[in-house]
């Protein structure tokens, strides 16, 4: 695809990176190709985290950190847990397995210069124990959260937003193409100061425009690469009818404020 010439500084809070052949679900991409595609789209830095695994993320997180060295990547550690994302009853009897993240793991990641934040995908990986969430609140680093029908915006609010860490809800909380859930996520911005929305795979232009106009400081650009080509993600946002100053916030100022490693 051709390089975009949009004139904005763009940083990205939502990409996936795995060692080639290491992804269990989703599209593999070499780090060099991801870097090249980001460059084509005018994206100067991007948050990267590993794709799904069945037995823990220690090796995958370390691989992502290693692959980020001397590249415009900011590594986030992916976390898992024993609790069910929606069932309180099933969560009550859940206990941490050896491969599940512990509070000590969170502290180690948080004070390791290789990682600038965390990723949670409770539908795929389970929800961490409350002690882990409390530790996330203590360290205060941003957490990109993958929601969806199995972990709707209301459940995100109930389980995560009282722990004092910034929550970046991926894809407006409605991936894939769940308009009602995206709308409810926008509504939650009025009630929760630590909630942010990223734009990955949000195809509804009216919802993008509404969120940006009503909450210009709470929407962060995320491409969703490699599942979405970064050029496509940038162009979709550029077609929105919003002032240039608000576009600059979404592309750069907001994500750089929430994820300080993305700042110039």
CATH topology for 10-262 is TIM Barrel (3.20.20)
pLDDT given at position 2: 60
- pLDDT the model gives residue 1: 53
Q: What is the average per-residue pLDDT within 144-163?
A: 96
Collapse the DSSP code of 95 into the 3-class scheme (helix H, G, I; strand E, B; otherwise coil) and give the result.
coil
Q: What confidence category does residue 88 fall into, taking pLDDT thresholds of 50, 70 and 90?
A: confident
Task: Mention every residue, 6+ apart, whose C-beta is less than 8 A from residue 160.
Answer: 120, 133, 143, 145, 167
pLDDT tens, residue by residue, 194-253 = 999 999 999 999 999 999 999 999 999 999 999 999 999 999 999 999 999 999 999 999
pLDDT for the residue numbered 57: 95
Please give the DSSP secondary-structure letter assigned to residue 250.
Answer: I
Whole-angstrom Cα Rg for the chain:
17
Domain ranges of the chain: 10-262
Segment 11-24, tens digit of pLDDT? 999 999 987 655 55
What CA–CA distance (Å, rounded) separates 53 from 162? 28
């Amino acid at each position: 695809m051709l390089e975009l010439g949009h004139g904005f500084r763009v940083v990205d809070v939502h990409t996936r990176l795995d060692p080639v052949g290491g992804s269990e679900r989703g599209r593999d991409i070499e780090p060099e190709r991801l870097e090249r595609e980001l460059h084509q789209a005018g994206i100067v830095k991007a948050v990267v985290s590993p794709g799904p695994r069945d037995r823990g993320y220690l090796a995958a997180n370390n691989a992502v950190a290693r692959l980020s060295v001397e590249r415009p990547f900011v590594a986030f550690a992916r976390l898992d847990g024993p609790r069910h994302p929606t069932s309180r009853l099933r969560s009550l009897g859940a206990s941490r397995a050896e491969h599940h993240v512990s509070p000590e793991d969170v502290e180690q990641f948080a004070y390791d210069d290789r990682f600038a934040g965390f990723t949670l995908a409770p539908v795929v990986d389970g929800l961490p124990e409350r002690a882990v969430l409390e530790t996330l609140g203590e360290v205060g680093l941003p957490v990109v959260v993958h929601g969806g029908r199995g972990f709707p915006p209301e459940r995100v609010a109930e389980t995560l937003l009282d722990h004092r860490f910034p929550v970046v809800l991926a894809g407006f909380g409605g991936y894939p193409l769940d308009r009602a859930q995206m709308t409810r996520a926008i509504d939650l911005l009025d009630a929760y100061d630590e909630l942010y929305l990223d734009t990955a795979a949000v195809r509804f232009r009216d919802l993008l425009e509404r969120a940006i106009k009503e909450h210009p400081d709470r929407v962060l650009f995320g491409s969703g690469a490699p599942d979405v080509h970064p050029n496509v993600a940038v162009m979709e946002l550029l077609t929105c009818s919003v002032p240039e100053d608000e576009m600059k916030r979404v592309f750069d100022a907001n994500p750089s404020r929430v994820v300080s490693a993305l700042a110039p």
